Amino acid sequence: MTQDWLPRASSGTILIAAFAALCLFSLATLWSVTEGIRGPYEITDSGVAKAVFWRQAIWVVAGWLALEVARRTSLQFFEESAPLLYLAAVLLLVTVLAVAPEIAGARRWFSLGPLRLQPSEPAKIALVLVLARLFSSYASRDRQLLPVIGSLLLATIPLALVLREPDLGTSLVYAALWLGAVFWFGLSWVFLLSVGSPLLSAIFNFYSESVVHQAWPWGAYLLVLMAGLTVARFRLLESFLLVLANIAAGIGTSYLWDGLKPYQQERILTFFDPTRDQFGTGYQAIQSKVAIGSGGLFGTDYLQGTQKGLAFLPERHTDFIFSVVGEELGFVGALLLIGIYMVIILKGLQIARAARKSFSSQVAIGVTIYFAFHVLVNISITTGLLPVTGLPLPVMSYGGSNLVVSAFMLGLLVNIGSRTFES
C-alpha cells in the first residue's frame, strides 16, 4: 500500500506556490542587501548595487517562462532529445573552457553583452535527463553493471570539464545527481560498500595525516570496517578486496594532497580550523556564523542586519544569502525558508515514487536530489558545517543561470506530477 506524505491533488499548485514564495523571498532579501544600514547608524552603502535587485526581478520573469516551458512540453520530447541536449551541454562546457575569458581565476562564464551565462548550470538539466533516459531503458532488465558503468561515464565527462574551470561545487552537484540516479535505479549493498567505504577511508586518512597528524583515526576506521565485514559474514575474497581498496584510497589521498596547490591545502585546512585564517578563506565562514548567530530567534528585523549592511558578509547576495535571512529574520525566518524547500523536496520524492513511467520517475528524483543537495550543502556552508565552496541556494541566490535552471527543474517536476495524478 502506498503512503502519502502530502496531499496529491494540488501538487502542481503547491510547487508553483513554493516557487513564487522563493522568488518573493529572494527579491525581499536582495532588496535588503542592497539597502545598506539604517537605524541608529548613518545610512551606509552596503557595497551591493541596487541593480542587483532589478536584474533579479527580470530573471524572475525569465524563470517563470522557463517553468512554463518545462511544464507544458511533452515529457516524451525530453526523453527523445535527452542525448542531444546532453551532447550540446558537453559541447558548451568544452567551448567555455576554450574561449571564455578568465574571471576571478576561473573560466565559467560566456559573456553575451551584459549577460553572463554559466553553461555548467543548464548542464545539470541535461545530466538529469540523460541519466533518466539511460536508466529507464534498463528499468525492466536484470542487468545492473552496464547502465551503472555507462552512467558513470556520462557523469564523469561534464564533471571533469567543470573541475577544469575550476568549479568544485558544481562538480559535486554532478556527482550527487549521478549517485541519486544510481541509487534510485537500485543497487546492491556490495556495490554501495565498494564505492562508499573507500571514500570514507580517504576522508579518515586525510583527517589523520593532515589535520591531527596522528595515525589512530584512520587505523580505527579500518579496524571497524574489518569487524563490520566479519560480523556481516562477507565472503573472504570480497572482504579482502574491500579492505585493500580502502587502504589504497587512504594512501592515494596522501598523494593527492601533496599534489594540491598550497592555497588549496590551506582552504581545506581552514575548514577544520577557521581561526587559522581569519582574513582569508576562514573569514567568510566566521562572518557568516556571526551573522546567523546574532540573528537569534526573531532576527534583527528586516533591513536592520548590521553584518550584512556593514559588508562583513562576503558574497551576501549570492552564495551567502542565507546568512542575511538568518541575521534579519532569525531562527523563525530560517525555518520558514527551509520549510519551503522541504515542501519542494518531499513533493519531489512523492512524485518520483508515484510516477508511472520509469523515465519520469528518474527525472523527478534528479530534480529532488538537485534541490536537496544544493539546499543542504549551501546552508551547511553558511553555518560552518561544511567547507566554503561556491554553490548557490536555488532560486534565492542572485544569478540568472541558477534561477532559470531551478525554475526549469521545478517545471519538469510539475509536468511529471500533473501527468501522474491528473490523468
Partner 1 sequence: MNGGRREMRGRNLIQARILRGVILLLFGVLVVDLFILQIVQHDYYKGQSLQNRQVQIRVKAPRGRFLDREGRVLADNVYLADITLPRGAVTEAGPDSTLAKLLRWFSLPQDETLDRLREQKEAGRPRLTLVANADMPRIATVEERRRELPGARVEARASRRYKHGPQLAHIIGYVGEVRPEEVGDEDDHRAHQPGDTVGREGLEAAWEDELRGESGLFLKEVNAVGRVVGSRDIPLWPVVPGGDIALTVALALQESLMAAMDGRPGAAVALSLPSGEVLAAVSNPTYDPNLFTRGISSREWNRLLDDPQHPFLNRLVQATYPPGSPYKIVTSLAGLKAEVVGKWTHFEPCWGSYRFGNRNFRCWRRSGHGDLDHAGGLVHSCDVFYYQLGLRLELEQLRDVAHMLGLGQETGSPFAAEVAGNIPDRVWYDEHYGPGRWTRGVLLNNAIGQGEILVTPLQMAVLTARVAVNDSDLVPHFRLGGDDASSSAGRPLPLDTGDIEWLRRTMTRVVDMGTGTRARLEAIEVAGKTGTAQNPHGEDHAWFVCFAPASAPVVAFVVILEHGGHGGAVAAPVAARWLTDFFAWRERSSTGGA
Phi, psi torsion values for 309, nearest 5 degrees: -70, -35
Q: Residue 149's closest CA among 200, 199, 185, 197?
A: 185
Q: Is 44 in the site for partner 1 (CB under 8 A)?
A: yes
Q: Quick one: which of 116, 164, 353, 419 contacts partner 1 (CB under 8 A)?
A: 353
Q: Retrieve residue 203's grid coordinates.
A: 576522508
Helices 145-164 and 122-137 meet at what angle, rounded to 10? Answer: 170
Q: Is the peptide bond before 101 cis (omega within 30 degrees of 0)?
A: no
Q: Residue 14's closest CA among 408, 340, 336, 335?
A: 340
If 0-12 CB within 10 Å is exposed, 13-18 middle and 19+ buried, where does residue 30 land? Answer: buried
Q: Is 4 in the site for partner 1 (CB under 8 A)?
A: no
Q: Retrieve residue 190's grid coordinates.
A: 556490495
| 251 vs 343, beta carbon nearer partner 1 | 343
Q: Is 103 helix (H, G, I), strand (E, B) or coil?
A: strand
For residue 181, give every residue at least 6 positions away whose Cβ sits within 8 Å of its Cβ, in sequence order, or none: 128, 131, 132, 135, 151, 362, 365, 366, 369
Q: Is 253 in the site for partner 1 (CB under 8 A)?
A: no
Contact 52, 317 (CB under 8 A): yes
Q: Is 389 in the site for partner 1 (CB under 8 A)?
A: no
Q: Count CB neighbours of 393 within 10 A.
A: 27
Q: Quick one: which of 171, 281, 318, 420 contacts partner 1 (CB under 8 A)?
A: 281
CB of 349 to partner 1, least distance (A): 6
Q: Quick one: which of 293, 302, 304, 389 contacts partner 1 (CB under 8 A)?
A: 293
Q: Is 292 in the site for partner 1 (CB under 8 A)?
A: yes
Q: Is 277 in the site for partner 1 (CB under 8 A)?
A: yes
Q: How far, CA to CA in Å, does 58 sit from each of 53, 67, 117, 125, 392?
A: 9, 14, 15, 22, 18
Which of the stretches 25-33, 55-63, 208-216, 364-372 binds partner 1 when contact is defined by CB under 8 A? 364-372
The conformation of residue 207, written as its DSSP 8-state character, comes to I
Q: Is 331 in the site for partner 1 (CB under 8 A)?
A: yes
Q: Retrieve residue 284's grid coordinates.
A: 567568510
Q: Is 394 in the site for partner 1 (CB under 8 A)?
A: no
H helical segments located in 296-399: 306-309, 321-354, 358-382
Q: Is 361 in the site for partner 1 (CB under 8 A)?
A: yes
Which of the stretches 59-67, 166-174, 230-238, 325-333 binds partner 1 when contact is defined by CB under 8 A? 325-333
Of residues 110 through 139, those in contact with partner 1 by CB under 8 A are: 139
Contact 4, 414 (CB under 8 A): no
| 106 vs 256, beta carbon nearer partner 1 | 106
Q: Quick one: which of 203, 349, 419, 421 contacts partner 1 (CB under 8 A)?
A: 349
Q: Is 342 in the site for partner 1 (CB under 8 A)?
A: yes
Q: Quick one: which of 7, 91, 153, 186 contacts partner 1 (CB under 8 A)?
A: 186
Q: Retrieve residue 19's grid coordinates.
A: 516557487
Of residues 67 through 106, those in contact with partner 1 by CB under 8 A are: 105
Q: Retrieve residue 30's grid coordinates.
A: 536582495
Q: Is 311 in the site for partner 1 (CB under 8 A)?
A: yes
Residue recorded with cell 577511508? 201
| 115 vs 232, beta carbon nearer partner 1 | 232
Which of the stretches 61-69, 86-94, 196-204, 308-316 binds partner 1 when contact is defined by CB under 8 A? 308-316
Query: Residue 116 pairs with which residues in a beta bridge?
Result: 111
Q: Is 188 in the site for partner 1 (CB under 8 A)?
A: no
Q: Retrieve residue 239's grid coordinates.
A: 572482504
One symbol per residue from 210 to 239: x for binding partner 1 (CB under 8 A), - otherwise; what is it? ------------------------------
Residues forming the site for partner 1 (CB under 8 A): 2, 5, 37, 40-42, 44, 47, 105, 139-140, 180, 183-184, 186, 262-263, 266-267, 276-281, 283, 287, 289-297, 306-307, 310-314, 326, 330-331, 334-335, 338, 342, 345-346, 349, 352-353, 358, 361, 365, 368, 372, 376, 379-380, 383, 385
